Amino acid sequence: MTQRHPDDATRVQRHPERGAYDRATIDAILDEALVCHVGFVHEGRPVVIPTIHGHERERIYLHGSPLSRMLTTLADGVDLCLTVSVVDGLVLARSAFDHSLNYRSVVVFGRGQLVDDADEKLHALEVISEHVLPGRWADVRPPTARELAATSVLVLSSEQASAKVRSGPPGDDVRKPPLDTWAGVVPLALTAGTPEADRGTPSGTEVPSYLQGYRRRPGSA
Amino acid sequence: MTQRHPDDATRVQRHPERGAYDRATIDAILDEALVCHVGFVHEGRPVVIPTIHGHERERIYLHGSPLSRMLTTLADGVDLCLTVSVVDGLVLARSAFDHSLNYRSVVVFGRGQLVDDADEKLHALEVISEHVLPGRWADVRPPTARELAATSVLVLSSEQASAKVRSGPPGDDVRKPPLDTWAGVVPLALTAGTPEADRGTPSGTEVPSYLQGYRRRPGSA
């Protein structure tokens, strides 16, 4: 695992002690976050669009309709910023000022490139699908040639990236009043409810094993 | 409640049937989303930063250190795009192509303005605090003059906004193979675990009532 050296764009400026630049940390957060928020400049104004991503080593994949504003803009290779954030908890201090969130975020700067190669395009869609729900891809009908043509895939590098992590209890001075306030952390997580089969699913169809205990953090309890 | 008329910037282009422009829909999503992602242009490049917001009618408040890149940039009144997204579920179809997410998102275009008035600044911080955890503000030490000076607050209008919502089961043709695949929706929600008191909380302190059953969607089960 390479240790990255942050440049002026990626270096975490506020709370530099929360910054992390190693690939393992960055990749784990990219893996866990279900969606990302992609920023780009369209007609001179910033636009931020939520979308699904997938990644494989340093290659981050995005997909969408070739007609979408995001895809048509990004296909030109313009600068983009892809940000993911995972919220881990509310941090409740005794003072309003010291309240915070526990979170892990990654900011990636780069430029997208259209994936033209049919094999890589199909592979990228599998990577995105497996990012959302590992095991699903093998269970479904793969894209037809027509569906592939109706999907654009972009790749960008996660080389220019930084992570920012805040964890643990509040950092305020516990000796200062109000001394009787409950302070601490309320853990938060994106959790799955009971899967709801649609009307086209034959009755009696077992819920696939990859849906049981679905959670975003691989290996977590 | 006014019905807004989308302009070219805010009109939902892909899946226009998912677009919504009424204040009630937009406000409910802004309320539920714990964090937002703010996009702006810094030194010619797009930057997307996750942060907490609060809002009161059409006024959206952001806060942060006066030294942060985000606050110093936005304080100049540059164009920004504030996006929130709430993920409601995985939508699993029979074909890879028809997989989707159930989500609700809001995109706001605007320009921030520094809040200079001390009373409005304090009020904005209360609005942000109550956005995160209703009831907390009354329980904690309010900001000192020094802490207020170390906090910048921005206000922007949610007038130029649009929502996009996808809900319900997969939309694929249930008569097409593979016919025996489990398809449907896996509901997702940001849920709270058991609150963990910090070492400064006197033992025996009751967990505040506003922490019991904490959830992001007001009134939801």
Mean pLDDT of B149-166: 95
Contact B205 A96 (CB under 8 A): no
Q: Does residue A29 sit within a domain?
A: yes
At residue B47 the predicted structure's pLDDT band, cuts being 50, 70 and 90, is very high
Q: Where are the alpha helices (DSSP H) in B87-213?
A: 118-132, 145-149
User: In B, which residues are within 8 Å of A110 by CB distance?
Assistant: none
What is the number of alpha carbons within 13 Å of residue B136 lying toward its C-beta?
28
Mean pLDDT of B39-52: 96
Q: Does residue B188 sit within a domain?
A: no
Tell me which H or E stretch contains A190: strand A184-192
Contact assessment for residue A148 and residue A121, using Cβ atoms and an 8 Å cutoff: yes
A159-203 pLDDT, tens per residue? 999 999 999 999 988 788 777 899 999 999 999 999 999 999 999
Q: Does residue B198 sit within a domain?
A: yes
Contact assessment for residue A124 and residue A153, using Cβ atoms and an 8 Å cutoff: yes
How open is the CA angle B41-B47-B48, to the nearest 5 degrees? 130
A119-161 pLDDT, tens per residue? 999 999 999 999 999 999 999 999 999 999 999 999 999 999 9
Q: Which residues of B42-52 are buried (b: 16+ CB within 10 A; e: fewer)?
A: beebbbbbbbb
Q: Which of A12, A131, A201, A216 should be substituted to probe chain B, the one whose Cβ sees the most B Cβ atoms within 10 Å?
A: A201
B65-97 pLDDT, tens per residue? 999 999 999 999 999 999 999 999 999 999 999
ipTM of the complex: 0.94
Residue with tokens 């990302």: A36
CATH code of the domain containing B66? 2.30.110.10
Q: Does residue B176 sit within a domain?
A: no
Q: Does residue B2 sit within a domain?
A: no
Residue of A nearest to B122 (CA): A96
Contact assessment for residue A20 and residue A162, using Cβ atoms and an 8 Å cutoff: yes
At residue B219 the predicted structure's pLDDT band, cuts being 50, 70 and 90, is low
Residue of B nearest to A148 (CA): B97
How open is the CA angle A169-A171-A173, to the nearest 5 degrees? 125
Q: Does residue A217 sit within a domain?
A: no
3-state secondary structure of B146: helix
Q: Does residue A220 sit within a domain?
A: no
Residue B1's pLDDT is 41
Residue in B79, B140, B150 closest to A46 by CB? B79
A96-108 pLDDT, tens per residue? 999 999 999 999 9
Number of domains in chain B: 1
- Our CA-based measurement puts residue A55 at a distance from the nearest CA of chain B, in whole angstroms, of 18
User: In A, which residues are within 8 Å of B48 by CB distance?
Assistant: 37-39, 48, 81-83, 107
Q: Does residue B175 sit within a domain?
A: no
Mean pLDDT of A50-63: 96
Contact assessment for residue A74 and residue A65, using Cβ atoms and an 8 Å cutoff: no
Q: Token pair of B100, please?
A: 């989707």
Residue A2's pLDDT is 47
* pLDDT tops 80 at residue A24: yes
* pLDDT tops 50 at residue A1: no
pTM of this structure: 0.94
- Our CA-based measurement puts residue B110 at a distance from the nearest CA of chain A, in whole angstroms, of 10
| Strand B161-166 versus strand B19-20 pairing type | antiparallel
- Our CA-based measurement puts residue A220 at a distance from the nearest CA of chain B, in whole angstroms, of 14
C-alpha to C-alpha distances, A50 to A83, A100, B46, B167, nearest whole angstrom: 9, 24, 15, 16
- Our CA-based measurement puts residue B58 at a distance from the nearest CA of chain A, in whole angstroms, of 20
Residues of the domain holding B45? 16-170+194-211
* pLDDT tops 70 at residue B3: no
Selection from B129, B126, B209, B200 nearest residue A180 by Cα: B200
At residue B12 the predicted structure's pLDDT band, cuts being 50, 70 and 90, is confident
